[in-house]
Amino acid sequence: MPTNTAIGTLVPASNGNGHKPAEGTRLAEASVQQIYAELLTRIGEDPMRDGLLSTPRRMEKSMAFLTHGYSQTVEEVLHDALFDVDYDEMVIVKDIEFYSLCEHHLLPFYGRAHIAYVPNGKVVGLSKIPRIVDVFARRLQVQERLTQQIAQAIDQAIHPQGVGVVLEAQHLCMMMRGVEKQESATVTSAMLGAFKTQSQTRTEFLTLVRPTR
Catalytic residue list: 102-105, 143, 171, 173
In three-state form (DSSP H/G/I as H, E/B as E, the rest C), the secondary structure along 94-154 is EEEEEEEEECCCCCEEEEEEEEEEECCCEEECCCHHHHHHHHHHCCEECHHHHHHHHHHHH
Other residues' Cβ atoms within 10 Å of the Cβ of residue 26? 19
Instruction: Round to whole Å and give the CA distance between 198 and 171.
Output: 32
Q: Which of 105, 101, 7, 10 is nearest to 56 (CA)?
A: 7
